Amino acid sequence: MQSLTSSQYHFILRQARNVMNGHTNSADEDVLAAVVLMAIERSERLTEVVSDELKRTIRLMDSIRNREDYEEFRERLLLYVRPMVEVTDKDIKKLFPKVKNLRMPKFAEAVRKELTYLGWNDPGTNRKYFVFEEGDGLTGLYGQFRPSGKKGVCSICNGIDETGLFLTETRHAGGETYTKRGNYICTDSMACNRRLDDRERFDQFIKTVSR
């Protein structure tokens, strides 16, 4: 069975919601046919090669009329998603060797299918932690996190939700000077993952705050 990444899964679901909303907002058959066709074409262009089995599933968008149909489609599509690897306490100690007594949330496989990255807040230290797959392994990153208490545009998912300023500090050669880099991102990492339908946006965020 061909597998999808979490971000690809969320991209296809966004197209499926467009179909569902189309039926809510219009009764014009020509308009609805165009919405369905565009949603299917966008989804099938998401990967270079799309198996016949996955194509058949994607084309079930044509039968979406309401929320119940959408949820049934979502459950079928979820079967194709490769979950993010399970991150163990041993992994965390290796990724963040200088951080003591770090506690990480645990997620079931079904939830890990929705994750491009694992992110959590530590209010006690005002930090936010990230763990994500890169190449054949895991990468960890943390920085200061200051919740803004208001809604804004997230630099990772590009959605609008309650955000905060994430700041990292990079030490220059010699160790005497530092550069701080930051961006506003979602406070709720789970909600952010569910809106993230383009892995490149996450990679660009990591690149920006890491350089």
Domain boundaries, the chain: 6-78, 89-210
C-alpha span between 201 and 207 (Å, rounded): 10
- CATH code for the domain defined by 6-78: 1.20.1280
177: pLDDT strictly greater than 90:
no
Rounded Cα distance between 167 and 144, Å, is 5
Tell me, what's the pLDDT at 76? Answer: 96
The whole-number average pLDDT for the span 177-185 is 85
111 touches 94 (CB < 8 A): no
Question: So what's the pLDDT on residue 103?
Answer: 84
Alpha-carbon separation of residue 205 from 38, 85, 109, 173 (angstroms): 29, 21, 25, 23
pTM above 0.85, yes or no: yes
3-class SS letters over the chain: CCCECHHHHHHHHHHHHHHHHHHHHCCCHHHHHHHHHHHHHHHHCCCCCCCHHHHHHHHHHHHCCCHHHHHHHHHHHHCCECCCCCCCHHHHHHHCCCCCCCCCCCCCHHHHCCCCEEEEEECCCCEEEEEEEECCEEEEEEEEEEEEEEEEECCCCCCEEEEEEEEEEEECCCCCCEEEEEEEEECCHHHHHHHCCCHHHHHHHHHHHHC
For position 173, what pLDDT does the model report?
61
Whether pLDDT at 172 is above 70? no
pLDDT tens-digit profile of 36-58? 999 999 999 987 778 899 999 99
Residue 171 pLDDT greater than 80, yes or no: no
pLDDT 10s digits, 60-108: 999 999 999 999 999 999 999 999 999 998 999 999 999 988 888 888 8
pLDDT at res. 169: 85
pLDDT of residue 46: 86
Q: Is the pLDDT of residue 127 over 80?
A: yes
